[in-house]
Amino acid sequence: MSALGAIECAGGYDYMQHGERADTMSDTTGKGQGADTMSDKIEKSDEEWRKELTPEQYRIARQKGTERAFTGEYYDSKEPGTYKCVCCGTPLFDSDAKFDSGTGWPSFSEPVTNENVRTESDRTLFMRRTEVLCAKCDAHLGHVFDDGPGPRGQRYCINSVSLKREDK
């Protein structure tokens, strides 16, 4: 654990494959989730998050809530900037990928990089949706749908509350 922080990003995955996880490689063929191979994952207790976040941020980002449509800070915003995770500051979405979906939530065609977000199947509310989370701290961000514009056809429908924009 202690040595991982010093490893440069470029060498991170290689290190994992040849290092302490080598013994599990034979039976993990094809799984390749990647989520648990990140060496700098942030894990805090609910109590710690509750202290650091506002009640609304805690409800949405840590308890998978949803802000009311057309009420969030960023749904209608066109300001240039980088949208970061409100919990841990990881860059998640760029204003260049933001588009007006008319849904009342900030919508993006793609994340800043695929490594910074992860997805999970969500079957709550009797719907089949794909939840989007911060890869670093597991904050609930929103959902991704495949009816978006652009070459990838994706629409990341994200709660403003889960984001903090850093202006360019």
Q: How far is the CB of 95 from Zn ion (least distance, A)?
A: 19
Backbone angles phi, psi at 100, to 5 degrees: -85, 105
- The radius of gyration of the chain's CA atoms, rounded to the nearest angstrom, is 17
Q: How far is the CB of 139 from Zn ion (least distance, A)?
A: 4
Identify which of residues 12 and 104 has a Cβ nearer to Zn ion in the complex.
12
In whole angstroms, what is the distance from residue 79 CA to residue 157 CA? 18
* CB of 39 or CB of 104, closer to Zn ion: 39
Annotation says 87 is catalytic: no
Nearer to Zn ion, 87 or 161 (CB): 87
**Active-site hit among 85, 87, 88, 157:** 157
Q: Give the closest residue to 160 by CA, choosing from 104, 97, 99.
A: 104
Question: CA-CA distance, 137 to 90, in Å (whole number)?
Answer: 9
Whole-number minimum distance, CB 86 to Zn ion, in Å?
8
Residues 6+ apart with CB under 8 A from 127: none
The residues that touch Zn ion, with contacts defined as CB under 5 A, are: 85, 87-88, 90, 134, 136-137, 139
Catalytic residues, by residue number, are 157
